[in-house]
Structure 1
Amino acid sequence: MDAQQLLLNRHSQPRLTEPGPNPDQLQLILQAALRAPDHAMLKPYEFVVAQEEGLNRLGEIFFESAQASGDSGESLARARLLPTRAPMVITVIAKVTEHPKVPPIEQHLTAGCALLQMQQMALALGLGGVWRSGNFARDNVVRDAFGLQQQDEIVGFLYLGTPVKATQPTTAKAITPYWRLL
């Protein structure tokens, strides 16, 4: 897949199965993340990879979060199983550092770009992925489980694996409503 195809056909693959990225693919995925735009080379991110038993540990964190939020029944049981929807989940954390020229928003954007780079590399390798966030990304129980400081943020959870079925990229959109001349 060439770069133009990759960029114009980016899409999410919400239904994933085994196999997930192998060790060599994971290294390429993580290397792609390190190429995200990064003002002052702060590397304002951390990647936490969950696979196999790690998916169950992540599910327990989600379960505890849901329990603390007052969820019950099916909603509570579902929280525990969310990470098992893919063979690998990479939690991307924006690790913000005080810097006179790089405000926190730029550091968050760098972490977000790193996540997108990982998803794009997975697609280029023939894998599928979906970037999820939601309440768990902002929940204090989850934040505490990951040892986050006040200024840190979970940018998202990147679910990776083999697509269950081929997904057709969305059709091209007219760009007219999204840009203008100044």
Structure 2
Amino acid sequence: MPTPNPQAMDFLLSRRSRPAKTLTGPTPDREALLPLLTAAARTPDHGKLEPWRFIVLERGALDRLAAAIGPRAEALGVDPDQAAKARAAFADSPLCVAVIEVQKESPKIPPLEQTYSAGAVCLALLNAALASGWGANWLTGWASHDRGFIEETLGLAANESVAGFIHIGTETSAPPERPRPDLDAITTWMDA
């Protein structure tokens, strides 16, 4: 018979991301952030490839990324509202961890499974932050998918991409609950 962990299950059944725009300081310091990164690194990883890594973006780095958004958005012809939203995500963030997918050559582990693992790291880090009492949100957006932006600002290699930007801080307001999926509509039961 399995040994339940009701507190963990209660957390998972009630977890709710906090909108990044509502986060402020204080943020976890390095000592407080290390257990969150450790929890995220315990993600399922077929073949033990570690197809991900972390870049912790503190205030100076966030300001640098925010400043780089405008020129890049203009060069790409990004809608001004979308450019402003991307800039604000970095300018207003108190702390952000970029989860970087690192595709590795493997005869056994296909690239898609490595992508899944990097996505799982994002969720694990998000949940670790929330479980530790911080407000947190997982964002992407056009800048996270633009090779020029991520190579120039984050120094990513050709085999690397941004799986997600996990913004972490102190929440200023609790978000309202939102509608959740209808399990009957998305679940199929098969017994044969």
Provide the rounded CA distance (Å) in 2 between the counterparts of 1:103 and 1:75: 33
1:64 CA drift (Å): 3.4
Is 1:159 matched up with 2:164? no
Give yes or no for contact 1:50–1:89 (8 Å, CA) kept in 2.
Answer: yes
TM-score normalised by L of structure 2: 0.84
Give yes or no for contact 2:86–2:143 (8 Å, CA) kept in 1.
Answer: no
Is 1:177 matched up with 2:177? no
Distance change in 2, residues 1:63/1:90 (3 Å): farther
Segment of structure 1 superposing worse, 46-55 or 139-148: 139-148
Provide the rounded CA distance (Å) in 2 between the counterparts of 1:5 and 1:66: 42
Is 1:2 matched up with 2:10? no
1:23 CA drift (Å): 2.1
1:157 CA drift (Å): 0.8
Give yes or no for contact 1:65–1:139 (8 Å, CA) kept in 2.
Answer: no
Identify the residue that residue 103 of structure 1 maps to in structure 2.
110
Provide the rounded CA distance (Å) in 2 between the counterparts of 1:120 and 1:110: 15
Structure 2 counterpart of 1:24, one-letter code: E
Distance change in 2, residues 1:5/1:85 (3 Å): farther
RMSD, matched Cα:
2.2
User: Structure 2: which 5+ runs fail to align?
Assistant: 1-5
1:111 CA drift (Å): 0.9
TM-score normalised by L of structure 1: 0.89
Structure 1 counterpart of 2:54, one-letter code: F
Quick one: which of 76, 79, 92 aligns to 2:99?
Answer: 92
Within-5 A mapping of 1:8-47: 8-14=13-19, 15-47=22-54
The one-character-per-residue Cα deviations of 1:23-81 (angstroms, maximum 9, x if unpaired) are 22211111011110000111111211111212112212323321321358676555443
User: Structure 1: which 5+ runs fail to align?
Assistant: none
Provide the rounded CA distance (Å) in 1 between the counterparts of 2:182 and 2:83: 41
User: Counterpart of 2:104 in 1: which secondary structure?
Assistant: coil
Provide the rounded CA distance (Å) in 1 between the counterparts of 2:182 and 2:80: 44
Give yes or no for contact 2:39–2:128 (8 Å, CA) kept in 1.
Answer: yes
Percent identity, aligned pairs only? 32
Provide the rounded CA distance (Å) in 1 between the counterparts of 2:180 and 2:162: 30
Distance change in 2, residues 1:74/1:155 (3 Å): closer
Question: How many residue pairs get matched?
Answer: 182
Distance change in 2, residues 1:136/1:73 (3 Å): closer
